[in-house]
Structure 1
Amino acid sequence: MVHPNDTRAGDTVILVGGCGGLSRRYGEVVAERGLALRHFETRVPSGARHALGRVAAVFVVVGMVSHALRDRVKDLAPSGTRVVYLRTASVSALRAAVGDLAARRSAA
């Protein structure tokens, strides 16, 4: 769901790691804030850079991602993109992080 007063609709949030079975729920949580989700659980497909659009933030699930994948995804995002490390792969952890991102964006 895109909020009509969200002037930055279309921005993308990248999630690295996490649980593939929760991808749909992750996407719903991000969409509640008018953002799109790109979830990379185990690898980054070739050509991913061109499909990302504007990147609002990169979320990394600490215990469920290789360092190589984390670094590859961080290299896809523009310099200065906010990188947030999540302790768990839970939907509630992502919801809290996206809520914090939305609060920071509206304050800016």
Structure 2
Amino acid sequence: MTYVVTEACIKCKYMDCVEVCPVDCFYVGENMLVIHPDECIDCGVCEPECPAEAILPDTDSRAEAWVELNREYAAKWPNITRKGTPPADADEWKGVEGKFEKFFSPEPGDGTGK
């Protein structure tokens, strides 16, 4: 089992989860994070740290579509090990549905959380 980041992270990208991960398996995109499913050790400490509730175990039916996206972009985006500054409007995007189709960016972040 692994944990995955879902579309709730898009445009929120709070990054509280990054600080608690014991194996540094988070990768940063322009407007969201992903978890490398082969590096995640299923400890679950990241899940309760996410203010957007964007992290789910892969056994959750809502996570099914996100496993491969997390795997794909973890291979393309830089690893992030420290919490960066979330977007200034992150709270405005928290809880917004349907963000993937409209706002997902395949562009990498810079590895510092920006």
**Under a length normalisation based on structure 2, what TM-score does the superposition of the two structures give?**
0.31
Higher RCO, 1 vs 2 (CA within 8 Å, ≥6 residues apart)? 2
Higher Rg: 1
Q: Pick the structure with more strand per residue.
A: 1
Q: Pick the structure with more helix per residue.
A: 1
**Under a length normalisation based on structure 1, what TM-score does the superposition of the two structures give?**
0.32
